[in-house]
């Protein structure tokens, strides 16, 4: 089974308060994107890597410290919303059996997580996403903040990336023109089965300055 990976790195990262797009923020002298790509290149049966970068970001600047990348790697400009960026990347992924969509911001996701996602799709699921049990109780609320429900925590998962899909299923989902913050949601909407496999705390998304400090500590712990 051939695997194509789309790394979305076109977000602005406003919540991080950095002066460069989030994927290009440095941790111990390297961009978040470079950490993400380093792990992606170790994925078994990787046939195609597509990196989606902010509009106006040239290939050379985009790749900067992201080397080496596999031959045939493509860099394309993203769009205003994550969905637009995924759609742009998907258009370049070519003839592969399984497509993984991965956030550059989840730069430290272990290769084992990618492998679990690929294995679940190869075993027949239309899609698979990594997830962790939820530690907080989650409330559903209305516009006034009045609680409308308390789902049983045991049945909830907080999901991460990479999210993996049968390539034809994901293309059909994106062709539907729907939009979502999460690729799996599009595929679920079309009635396909998507499984949750074990995620990893290291697949955390760098979103706030506290997350960036955590990333710095993590990399420092490897160097020690």
Site of interaction with ligand C5P (CB under 6 A): 8-11, 22-23, 52, 78-82, 85, 103-105, 205, 207
Residues 6+ apart with CB under 8 A from 89: 6, 7, 8, 50, 51, 52, 76, 78, 101
State in angstroms the smallest separation of the CB of 171 from ligand C5P: 18
Three-state DSSP state, 216: helix
Separation of alpha carbons 25 and 159, rounded Å: 23
Based on CB atoms, which residue is closest to ligand C5P, 48 or 82? 82
Based on CB atoms, which residue is closest to ligand C5P, 73 or 85? 85
Based on CB atoms, which residue is closest to ligand C5P, 199 or 224? 199
Based on CB atoms, which residue is closest to ligand C5P, 137 or 179? 179
Based on CB atoms, which residue is closest to ligand C5P, 64 or 79? 79
Which pair of tokens denotes residue 119? 């294995």
State in angstroms the smallest separation of the CB of 105 from ligand C5P: 4
State in angstroms the smallest separation of the CB of 138 from ligand C5P: 19
Separation of alpha carbons 49 and 59, rounded Å: 14
Which pair of tokens denotes residue 92? 């370049």
Residues 6+ apart with CB under 8 A from 6: 50, 52, 86, 89, 90, 93, 99, 100, 101, 102
User: Cα–Cα distances in Å, from 113 out to 100, 149, 161, 165, 198?
Assistant: 11, 32, 9, 14, 7
């Amino acid at each position: 089974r051939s695997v194509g990976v789309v790394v979305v790195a076109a977000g602005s990262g406003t919540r991080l308060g950095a002066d460069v797009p989030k994927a290009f923020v440095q941790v111990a002298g390297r961009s978040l994107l470079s950490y993400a790509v380093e792990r992606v290149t170790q994925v078994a049966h990787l046939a195609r890597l597509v990196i989606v970068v902010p509009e106006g970001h040239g290939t050379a600047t985009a790749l900067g410290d992201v080397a080496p990348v596999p031959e045939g790697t493509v860099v394309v400009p993203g769009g205003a919303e994550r969905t637009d960026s995924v759609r742009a990347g998907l258009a370049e992924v070519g003839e592969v059996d399984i497509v993984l969509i991965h956030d550059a911001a989840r730069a430290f996701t272990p290769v084992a997580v990618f492998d679990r996602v690929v294995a679940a799709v190869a075993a027949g699921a239309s899609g698979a996403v990594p997830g962790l049990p939820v530690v907080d109780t989650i409330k559903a609320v209305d516009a006034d903040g009045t609680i409308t429900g308390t789902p049983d925590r045991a049945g909830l998962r907080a999901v991460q990336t990479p999210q993996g899909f049968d390539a034809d299923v994901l293309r059909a989902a994106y062709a539907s023109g729907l939009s979502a913050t999460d690729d799996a949601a599009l595929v679920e909407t079309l009635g396909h089965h998507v499984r949750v496999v074990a995620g990893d705390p290291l697949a955390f998304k760098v979103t706030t300055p506290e997350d960036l400090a955590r990333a710095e500590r993590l990399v420092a712990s490897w160097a020690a």
